[in-house]
Amino acid sequence: MKRVKVLTKYIFLAGISIVFLFPFAWMFLGAFKSNNEIWQTPYKLLPTHINLSEFIENLKAIKLYGYLLNSFIVGIAGTALILIVSSMFAYGVVFLNNRNMDRIFVIVIVTYMLPGAVTYVPSYVILAHMGLLNTLSGLVFSNLANVFAVFYFRQAFKKTSMDFVEAAKIDGANHRLILRHVILPLNKSAFSSVGLLTFIQLYNSYMWPSIMLTSQDKYLISQGLRQFFIQEGAYGMNWAQVMLASTITTLPILVILFAAQKWLMSAISQDSGIKF
Amino acid sequence: MAIKMKKDTLARIGFTLPFLIPLLLFWIVPLFLAFGISFTDWDYISANIGFVGLDNYKDIFTDSDFLKALFNTFYFAVGTIPPTLLISFGLALLFENQFRGSKLFRSVIFSPWITPTVAVSMVWSWIYEPERGFANHLLGFFGIAPLSWLQDSTTAMLSVIIFTIWKSLGWTFLFYIGALAAVPKSTYEAAEIDGASRSRKLLHITIPLISPTTFFLFVVNLIQSIQVYDQIQIMTQGGPGGSTTTLLYMYYDKSFQNFKMGPANSIAMIILAIIVVLSLISNRISSRFVHYE
């Protein structure tokens, strides 16, 4: 009886997995289909013969590699800076706490509920005045205040005993050294979780970059993919190339997911520790 | 001691400014500016800005396109959130205890959430394609007549909703797993001694105990729904016939496409007001009805 139950559960989960994975499978398969195959009747689920030369031609035709590079630059530089800036701020709130710090933190909590998009017009104008419009550094700068990262670090740091900080102070360490050599090693998992989520968030971002990056050589990958979809993809006539382009866009994230499952999952479920 | 105090004050400034400067420049100041712009007729190009009072708001609330966008946004939220919460909770129940392969299955269900919306929206655009898409192929397999999905104003929003449930459910699902793991085992044991069945335990212990999580997830999902944009921009551009134009899409269209900064920012303020009101209401309700330990 128990075995039947277990078996039913696995069959059910396998069915669910097919539903969740199907669009990805469809995307991968689509990348290997030829356009003839796609428009052929009867309908074909699998590519019948893989035409390697056409596949390589398609790989060359999708000029996404510059966009991919931009996304990695913004993702890596942005993540590094966000980790530094938000861990410093959280350190201040937790270990240098006083009434003013509490007041500042209340403002931060309020902005957490803010829908970012409502500030896009003024943010655009401010970036323009600073001469940072249409630059990757402007994009990174305008993303620097990551409230989620501050919340996450604050939660993690609060669990770190004040004793470590006090001991380091007695040894004559300043706050920068304490953060770097005491707090960071004790909160490695928080740093990797926030780092991963921040990178993914920056890599996937679309609306704000597509507003503030206007020349094509600055585009991030999602923007570039959309551009390709409109131009080369001819609004979806050329599905094989569009699916190949989507695959290339998605692949880095899927690799991260399966390589860093543990960190990512704990990052999200620890989220629930955040209370308003 | 005085020197130490001063040192700490300097550290406070040094440690918070790198975060506070971008927060001020790209969150707080823009918020006030957006509020100000919403009372003007600014077109981004001309230098003279006219103050028009409440005209933008009056125009918007009498504009049938805006009212439709407001309706569409709530249609989207109502269509997305209850199924997301229900399916996530149901699936999370299967993961209450670890079993062989549970981590892999968890990642599979979670995977759409972290993939780029633009890329997977394109995949789904093809799935929804009326002629060669998989969706109609599947319907045909069950003997159901094909639909026009994204190209028909009666089914376009539904198609976007189905996509969004698939895309965003993983986050809610993981949250529920965390919440279920936090329910103390002793509560269940006590109920078992009293001879409670599985469904009674679910109804009388699990659901009430995780209600704070449900509330939190409801509010967060709602705030997310009101800001839906990426998939709309890729799949429908607000069409056909404005049937998928949501508030944020309208904001984008008015501001960065048509440079009507005044009306655009009054829409922004309405989005903001909706979110603030909803958060306040939910806080009220949650403190009164939701079970906290």
- Is the bond preceding residue A42 a cis peptide, omega within 30 degrees? yes
Question: Does residue B56 lie within any of the structural domains?
Answer: no
The answer on pLDDT for B288 being more than 70 is no
Beta carbons within 10 angstroms of residue B177's beta carbon:
25
Using alpha carbons only, what angle is made at residue A77 by residues A72 and A81, rounded to the nearest 5 degrees? 150
**How many domains is chain B partitioned into structurally?**
1
* Partner-chain residue, chosen from B27, B105, B112, that has the shortest CB–CB distance to A111: B27
Query: A20 is written with which tokens?
Result: 């969740």
What's the domain range around A133?
66-271
Using alpha carbons only, what angle is made at residue B83 by residues B172 and B237, rounded to the nearest 5 degrees? 90
Q: Which of A111-115, A141-145, B219-223 has the lowest mean pLDDT?
A: A111-115
pLDDT at A119: 92
Residues A241 and B92: their CA atoms lie apart, in Å, by 37
Beta carbons within 10 angstroms of residue A97's beta carbon:
12
Residues B101 and B106: their CA atoms lie apart, in Å, by 9
Question: Does residue B235 lie within any of the structural domains?
Answer: yes
Contact flag A26-B127 (C-beta cutoff 8 Å): yes
Residues A112 and B272: their CA atoms lie apart, in Å, by 12
Residues A227 and A216: their CA atoms lie apart, in Å, by 9
Question: Does residue B5 lie within any of the structural domains?
Answer: no
Residues A101 and B20: their CA atoms lie apart, in Å, by 12
**First vs last Cα of chain B: how many Å apart?**
43
The answer on pLDDT for B292 being more than 70 is no
Mutate to test the interface with B, among A272, A274, A275, A276 (most CBs of B within 10 A): A272
Question: Does residue A276 lie within any of the structural domains?
Answer: no
The answer on pLDDT for A274 being more than 60 is no
Instruction: Provide the shortest C-alpha distance from residue A234 to chain B (in Å).
Output: 13
pLDDT at B184: 82
Beta carbons within 10 angstroms of residue B68's beta carbon:
16
Question: Does residue B6 lie within any of the structural domains?
Answer: no
Using alpha carbons only, what angle is made at residue A120 by residues A226 and A154, rounded to the nearest 5 degrees? 100
Question: Does residue B44 lie within any of the structural domains?
Answer: no
CATH of the domain at A143: 1.10.3720.10
Q: Where does the pLDDT of residue A276 fall: very low under 50, low under 70, confident under 90, or very high at 90 and above?
A: very low
Contact flag A141-B122 (C-beta cutoff 8 Å): no
Q: Which of A100-109, B15-24, B203-212 has the lowest mean pLDDT?
A: B203-212
Instruction: Provide the shortest C-alpha distance from residue B284 to chain A (in Å).
Output: 13
β-bridge partners, B254:
none
| Cβ–Cβ < 8 Å for B42, B49 | yes
Contact flag A100-B12 (C-beta cutoff 8 Å): yes
Sign of CA dihedral B215, B218, B221, B227: negative
pLDDT tens, residue by residue, A181-231: 989 999 998 999 899 999 999 999 999 999 999 999 999 999 999 998 888
Chain B contact for A133, CB < 8 A?
no
Name which of A213, A103, A209 is nearest B229 in CA terms. Answer: A209
* Arithmetic mean of pLDDT, A85-91: 96
The answer on pLDDT for B4 being more than 70 is no
* Partner-chain residue, chosen from B115, B126, B166, that has the shortest CB–CB distance to A254: B115
Question: Does residue B193 lie within any of the structural domains?
Answer: yes
* Partner-chain residue, chosen from A17, A98, A268, that has the shortest CB–CB distance to B171: A268
CATH of the domain at B196: 1.10.3720.10
| Cβ–Cβ < 8 Å for B15, A175 | yes
H helix count then E strand count, chain A: 16, 0
Question: Does residue A160 lie within any of the structural domains?
Answer: yes
Question: Does residue A53 lie within any of the structural domains?
Answer: no
**H/E element, B105:** helix B102-114
Return the percentage of chain B with pLDDT > 90, whole number. 62
**How many domains is chain A partitioned into structurally?**
1
Name which of B115, B230, B227 is nearest A209 in CA terms. Answer: B230
Residues A193 and A263: their CA atoms lie apart, in Å, by 6
Question: Does residue A171 lie within any of the structural domains?
Answer: yes
Q: Where does the pLDDT of residue B66 fall: very low under 50, low under 70, confident under 90, or very high at 90 and above?
A: very high
What's the domain range around B201?
65-289
pLDDT at A275: 35
Instruction: Provide the shortest C-alpha distance from residue A160 to chain B (in Å).
Output: 18
Look up residue B144 and give its DSSP letter. Answer: P
Interface of B with A in 104-123 (CB under 8 A): 105-112, 114-120, 122-123
Interface of A with B in 44-83 (CB under 8 A): none
Contact flag B27-A114 (C-beta cutoff 8 Å): yes
Mutate to test the interface with B, among A84, A120, A141, A165 (most CBs of B within 10 A): A120
Instruction: Provide the shortest C-alpha distance from residue A97 to chain B (in Å).
Output: 9
Query: B175 is written with which tokens?
Result: 């949250």
Contact flag B22-A145 (C-beta cutoff 8 Å): yes
Partners of residue A91 in chain B, C-beta under 8 Å: 15
Contact flag A88-B16 (C-beta cutoff 8 Å): yes
Chain A contact for B272, CB < 8 A?
yes
* Arithmetic mean of pLDDT, B205-227: 87
Residues B249 and B241: their CA atoms lie apart, in Å, by 14
Give the number of A-B residue pairs with CB atoms closer than 8 Å: 262
pLDDT at B293: 45
Mean pLDDT, rounded, of chain B:
90
Question: Does residue A45 lie within any of the structural domains?
Answer: no
Name which of B161, B233, B160 is nearest A230 in CA terms. Answer: B233
Secondary structure class of B51 (helix, strand, coil): strand
Name which of A241, A220, A252 is nearest A73 in CA terms. Answer: A220
Q: What is the ipTM of this complex?
A: 0.90
Question: Does residue B52 lie within any of the structural domains?
Answer: no
For A238, the closest chain B residue by CA position comes to B126
Return the percentage of chain A with pLDDT > 90, whole number. 54
Question: Does residue A164 lie within any of the structural domains?
Answer: yes
* Arithmetic mean of pLDDT, B119-127: 94
Question: Does residue B264 lie within any of the structural domains?
Answer: yes
Question: Does residue A99 lie within any of the structural domains?
Answer: yes
